[in-house]
Amino acid sequence: MRKFKGLIITFLVLCLFSQANISAKAISSECGILVEQVTGRVLFEKCADQQKYIASITKIMTAIIAVEEGDLDGWVEISENATLQVGSSLYLKQGDKVKLIDLIYGLMLRSGNDSAMAIAEEIGGSEEEFVKMMNEKAKELGMTNSVFQNPSGLDETTYNLSTAADMAKVMRYAMNHPVFREVVGTKVHKTQSEGGVPYVWQNKHKLVTGYYEYAIGGKTGFTKQARRTLVTSAQKDGLELVVVTLTAGDDWNDHMSLFNMGFDNYELKTVIPAGFLNVDPTVSDSKLFIKQDAIVAVKKDGSETVSTELKLSQDNTTDNEVGTLIVKINDEVMDEIPVYQQVELKDDQPRGWFQWLFGWLMGDGDTQ
């Protein structure tokens, strides 16, 4: 009888885990991904590398380039070409001027295609040159399956193709910029043009405006070819996650389901803090250190094994880099962090201010 009860309990536990996994995998979207913000660890994916039309989530790329390259407080004159863009619009007036930062708000909150074109013409000089900047940034970010042809996401004459995995990369990158982060987390933005035209833009992203309490930013998208596309960032208890869905049916619930699975099952852990490493003298008699924390996103239930491996190079590179600290989960490489060697100065060699400051911060004895 006890054995029978044990089998029943085991079966029930397995059913509970199966239901949790099924609820996460049975998303309505054709493709999707759940990624941890800091480490980039993929916690869930469904055809995440399949190229698709992406509609207005294109504007994440447009916005981050504008934030990085433009004069945010500068006035941008609205061209006739910008006012002729079809689809979602801020109804900007030809010849009027709007500050770049306000155009970015309109771009991300209301998905203004006229704003996208105005930004492209201001930052790139033309749409064509701005598109080149978009593709260069995509290459820089490792978005190997992405092709951009316009700054808005319209796909009637030109189009943009990407994947859930690639769009998660650009969202993670963009969320590290405080201005972008502020913009996409805003519920309502009010401004006026140089000509005195007032604008009030409410965020279209329902999860950000109150539908999901942990949502902190994102971008919506829709065209007939792309169908519904959605990118969202959410944060809870120090864990920040990104969800991307493409060709979706019920994307709001898809995102909440994936976020809840991530928050329920994962947490961030610091494996080794930034600073000096505890290295066996037989491995290296130099003082080695890392400049950043070694962090991993791991399951809360303790079922995953985290390990580190120090690999030293014989050929010293620039900045006293001497090797790599490899961080693994269950023998799968999660991160590779540069390892540096402290420069030992001779007694008669004066310390520069940087060496003095570094020594003081690290508590390295005499800093005189």
Contact predicate 268/44, CB 8 Å: no
Q: Determine which one of 52, 88, 99, 111 is catalytic.
A: 111
CA distance 231 to 214: 14
- Give the torsion through C-alpha atoms of 277, 280, 285, 288, to 10 deg: -10
The 10 Å Cβ neighbour count of residue 202 is 12
The 10 Å Cβ neighbour count of residue 213 is 8
Tokens 């079922």 sit on residue: 303
Q: Determine which one of 29, 46, 52, 59 is catalytic.
A: 59
CA distance 191 to 322: 52
CA distance 164 to 176: 19
- Can 23 be counted among the known catalytic residues? no
- Can 146 be counted among the known catalytic residues? no
Q: Determine which one of 29, 56, 88, 115 is catalytic.
A: 56
- Can 162 be counted among the known catalytic residues? no
DSSP string of 72-133? Answer: TTSEEEPPHHHHT--SS---PPTT-EEEHHHHHHHHHHS--HHHHHHHHHHHHSSHHHHHHH
Contact predicate 24/257, CB 8 Å: yes
Amino acid at the residue 34 = L
Catalytic residues, which ones? 56, 59, 111
